[in-house]
A and B are shown apart, each in its own frame.
Chain A
Amino acid sequence: GENVEQHPSTLSVQEGDSAVIKCTYSDSASNYFPWYKQELGKGPQLIIDIRSNVGEKKDQRIAVTLNKTAKHFSLHITETQPEDSAVYFCAASSMNYGGSQGNLIFGKGTKLSVKP
């Protein structure tokens, strides 16, 4: 089945710097890649997603890139702010995962700290 690796597990940046979180996936049939932000005491919230027919997607200060050949995708946050501090999860949706087609497989998360 699908396997998603996420790096780094922790990331500390200064306010205003950029942050990059990387994920790799194993199933070449995966075609949907969302990113979630989880703040303390809350559930994960979808912040951006990308499908396999697109190489890059931007939404204000966040962007996601996808390299299907290498099977990896990345989250880029520019001009980081203290409120960006949270745990970020990547995920991939595999259509070849037996009876669980379309289910999300999550990375283990990255704890991002933005220091003022």
Chain B
Amino acid sequence: DVKVTQSSRYLVKRTGEKVFLECVQDMDHENMFWYRQDPGLGLRLIYFSYDVKMKEKGDIPEGYSVSREKKERFSLILESASTNQTSMYLCASSSHRGQPQHFGDGTRLSIL
């Protein structure tokens, strides 16, 4: 089975801090994705990557950046955390475009 691992289940940070969320997949998937999940809003795509060192903006990229230095690892960076970035963050991977995405269990991030 595909395993997508997010480094933290819960994280508490302060406004203005630089925050790193890490995601690793073990199936040699080409594509990786970062979503945020908020009540009533579903899953919204922040950034995605179709290859190493490649990144593209999703629907809500403002305030975020990403890094993909190795195929198996995709990092989400909050450059200067703000309270409106308090949310559940989900990482996913898929073998190719249009193929099933496999999700990690999420990181619940609180910005105080």
> Which residues of chain A in 24-38 are interfacial with respect to chain B, using CB atoms and an 8 Å cutoff?
31-32, 34, 36
User: B12 on the interface (CB 8 Å rule)?
Assistant: no
* A44-B42 in contact given A93-B98, A102-B98, A103-B48 (Cβ < 8 Å): no
Number of A interface residues at 8 Å Cβ cutoff, please give it: 26
Contact B41 A108 (CB under 8 A): yes
User: A61 on the interface (CB 8 Å rule)?
Assistant: no
Number of A-B contacts (CB under 8 A): 51
Contact B48 A108 (CB under 8 A): no
Q: Which residue of A lies closest to B98 (CB)?
A: A102
Distance (Å) between the CB of A25 and the closest chain B CB?
14
Distance (Å) between the CB of B47 and the closest chain A CB?
11
Distance (Å) between the CB of A33 and the closest chain B CB?
11
Alpha-carbon gap, A107 to B42, bound state (A): 6
Q: Mark A73-99, 1 if CB is under 8 A from B, else 0.
A: 000000000000000010001010001
User: B90 on the interface (CB 8 Å rule)?
Assistant: yes
* A43-B106 in contact given A100-B48, A100-B58 (Cβ < 8 Å): yes
Alpha-carbon gap, A45 to B103, bound state (A): 7
Chain A residues closer than 8 Å to B90, beta-carbon distance = 43-44
* A43-B100 in contact given A100-B58, A106-B42 (Cβ < 8 Å): no
Contact B100 A49 (CB under 8 A): yes
Footprint of A on B, CB under 8 Å? 4, 33, 40-43, 45, 48, 56, 58, 90, 92, 96-98, 100-106
26 A-B interface contacts by CB (under 8 A): A6-B42, A31-B98, A34-B100, A42-B106, A43-B103, A43-B104, A43-B106, A44-B90, A44-B103, A45-B103, A46-B100, A93-B98, A95-B98, A100-B48, A100-B56, A101-B97, A102-B97, A102-B98, A103-B33, A103-B48, A103-B58, A103-B97, A104-B101, A107-B42, A108-B40, A108-B41
